[in-house]
Amino acid sequence: MRERLNRFMAGRYGVDELSRFMLYLSLFLMLSEFILNFFSGNVVISLISRIVNLVALVIIILNLVRIFSRNHTRQYKINQWFLRTKGRIIGFFKGNRSAADKTKKVFKCPKCSQRVRVPRGRGRIEITCPRCRTRFIKKT
């Protein structure tokens, strides 16, 4: 049985970050649908519940298609796209678009509020605002 499974899985793409995310997402949707079913008397809620159920099903099928795919390059590219998008979304919610860049530190000019990016770990340095030429001292 195990050998059979191994033979079946040979050359298949397998699990990556995106498939794990899709698994959690489909589980979350199924749980939501389960909760929504408690209010099944309401027409709108039962419609939403059906849509949630359908979306969860589509995600599960797409996930299985990816895991059992033999086109590794394509699945790898999709996963890379997912990781980039995830990084961007996390960066956006952190209010710092360059959240990934840990070698730089961002300060605001005390006069004109211009954001100034300087290298980290240089100690106390004098920064000149590129917009209004105001000088201010900050610890990096």
Where on the chain is the footprint of Zn ion (CB under 5 A)?
Answer: 109, 111-112, 114, 129, 131-132, 134
Residue 46 CA to residue 40 CA, distance in Å, equals: 5
Q: Considering the complex, what minimum distance in angstroms separates the CB of residue 101 from Zn ion?
A: 21
Q: Considering the complex, what minimum distance in angstroms separates the CB of residue 131 from Zn ion?
A: 5
127 CB contacts (<8 Å, ≥6 apart)? 107, 116, 118, 135, 136, 137, 138
Q: Label residues 63-81 b or e (16+ Cβ within 10 Å = b).
A: beebbeeeeeeebeebbee
Residue 64 or 125 with smaller CB distance to Zn ion: 125
Residue 55 or 116 with smaller CB distance to Zn ion: 116
Residue 74 or 115 with smaller CB distance to Zn ion: 115
Q: Considering the complex, what minimum distance in angstroms separates the CB of residue 106 from Zn ion?
A: 13
Residue 84 or 135 with smaller CB distance to Zn ion: 135
Q: Considering the complex, what minimum distance in angstroms separates the CB of residue 107 from Zn ion?
A: 10
Paired residues of 128 in beta bridges? 135
Q: Looking up tokens 């050359």, which residue turns up?
A: 11
